[in-house]
Chain A
Amino acid sequence: MTATIGTPDPGPGHPVTGLDEVVHQRARLGILTIAHEAHRVEFGYLRTHLELTAGNLSKHLSVLETAGLIEIQKGYEGRRGRTWITLTAAGATALADEIARLKQLIARVETTN
């Protein structure tokens, strides 16, 4: 669990405790967001818009695929190889949960302040 949001000693039930380490990482969150919005997205689009190197993006995709949050399909269009990423139902749920927890966290911080 990577609960380094900057809030002191989160107690039980605190939104930070529910953050998923796989999802709560800006690049991986970006991949899930784009895949959710686009229905399916090509490797090159992700690399350009998340400003990641191919190797770095591949590592993040591998983490998400292993967690069952995305599906990766490789194919060809003409001679050009293309890799398409699709969000799984578990991925959509994980993204929705993450966004809900972020909103809770913001609300909690604002209440504390």
Chain B
Amino acid sequence: MTTESIAAGGDPRRLLSDIRSLAHQVRLDQRMTWVALLVLGVVTLVGIPFDWLGMTVHCHPDTSCEFARRGVLFYWPPALLLAYTAIAVCYVRAARSRGLGARALPYAIAGAATTVVFTAAWVAAALYFPHHPLPHQPLPYWWLLLDRLVSPWGMIGIALVVLARIERNVGLRLFTLAYLAPVLLVLPTNEGWGLAGWGLQARFAAPQVVSGALLLLGAAGFFRAARRRQR
């Protein structure tokens, strides 16, 4: 595109089309979607032993059990804050090396906000339920959905929605929907899930393995797409 070849009065349609394609190219060059998904996937999988070892279980003679997931409460808030910081730093460094500014700050703020929401909800539940009766069983579906949403795995999805919007990334938007659908509607991250005979810790680990695996699969997919685009 030289000055001579672009007379000031170009076709307005072509000018607008050029503007859009330049803006799109910049957005593509700023993205590090696979890094965000990789970090969150690793954080999810690393969190499983913390949940497993930090869980206190008290079973009564009538076979009912009470449990407290202290590991989740102690591991996830600092882990998520560190993860979002690491992702923001990676975005800024990568964009800078390509000669661009980055749009990571809103995502880091959204990540920190979702971490605060999750922590506040879990601390409130940990303080409330030991001294108050549990709600009537079975719990309404909206309650289960809300409970799954304020879990770390649900909050990761919310932060990904924000990232997809900031990046105007249709692929990430679709991936986030594909991630949130099982996390909110299928995977019982707040009840446990598994085969008969599995211990309580294993039943809680299973949904987290699926959630972490989904994030890592997404990271692999976005990494391949980024590599293909660079060629």
Given contacts A2-B9, A51-B1, contact A26 B100 (CB under 8 A): no
A50 at interface, CB cutoff 8 A: yes
Q: With an 8 A cutoff between CB atoms, is B137 at the interface?
A: no
Binary CB contact string for chain A from 5 to 47 against chain B (1 if under 8 A, 0 otherwise):
1100000000000000100111101100110111111111100
Partner of B18, one of A26, A37, A103, A105: A26
Convert A49-93 into 0s and 1s, putting 1 for each residue whose CB lies closer than 8 angstroms to a CB of B: 111110010001000000000000000000000000000000000
Contact with A along B103-132 (1 / 0, CB 8 A): 100000000000000000000000000000
Residue in B12, B99, B103 whose beta carbon sits within 8 Å of that of A102 in the complex: B12
Among the listed A3, A45, A56, A99, which residue makes an inter-chain contact with B9, where contact means beta carbons less than 8 Å apart? A3
CA distance A51 to B2 in the complex (A): 7
- If A37-B22, A45-B99 touch, whether A25 touches B6 (CB-CB below 8 Å) is yes
**Residues in chain B near residue A39, CB distance under 8 A:** 100-103
> Does B165 lie at the interface of the complex (its beta carbon under 8 Å from any beta carbon of A)?
no
A residues in contact with B29, CB < 8 Å: 45
Smallest CB–CB gap between B200 and chain A, Å? 48
Chain A residue total in the interface (Cβ 8 A): 37
Could you tell me if B99 and A41 are in contact, using CB atoms closer than 8 angstroms? yes
Candidates B3, B8, B26; contact of A37 at CB < 8 Å: B26
B189 to chain A, nearest CB (A): 37
Q: Does B59 contact A (CB under 8 A)?
A: no
In the complex, B25 has a CB within 8 A of chain A: yes
Q: Does the CB pair A105–B12 fall under 8 Å?
A: yes
Residue of A5, A49, A51, A53 touching B12 (CB-CB under 8 A)? A5
Determine if B224 is an interface residue (Cβ-Cβ < 8 Å): no
CB distance from A85 to the nearest CB of B (A): 10
Asked if B8 contacts A4 (CB within 8 A), the reply is yes
B100 touches A41 (CB 8 A): yes
By a CB distance below 8 angstroms, the chain A residues around B12 are 5, 102, 105-106, 109
B201 within 8 A of A: no
Interface contact A99-B18, CB-CB below 8 Å: no
**When the two chains form their complex, are residues A40 and B100 in contact, meaning their CB atoms are under 8 A apart?**
yes
Among B15-38, those with CB < 8 Å from A are 15-16, 18-19, 22-23, 25-27, 29-30
Residue of B nearest to A95 (CB): B19
C-alpha spacing A96/B23, complex, angstroms: 13
Contacts A4-B7, A49-B22; A26 near B15 (Cβ below 8 A): yes
Would you call B138 an interface residue if the criterion is a C-beta within 8 Å of the partner chain's C-beta atoms?
Answer: no
Q: How far is the CA of A44 from the CA of B103 in the complex (A)?
A: 20
B13 within 8 A of A: yes
Residues of chain A within 8 A of B78, CB atoms compared: none
Interface residue? B10 (CB, 8 A) = yes
Q: Measuring CB to CB, which residues of chain B are less than 8 angstroms from any residue of chain A?
A: 1-3, 6-13, 15-16, 18-19, 22-23, 25-27, 29-30, 95, 98-103
> Could you jot down 8 A-B contacts, CB within 8 Å?
A4-B8, A4-B9, A29-B15, A29-B19, A41-B100, A41-B101, A45-B98, A53-B2
Q: Give 4 A-B pairs besides A4-B7, A5-B9, A38-B101 with Cβ atoms closer than 8 angstroms.
A: A29-B19, A30-B19, A37-B26, A40-B100
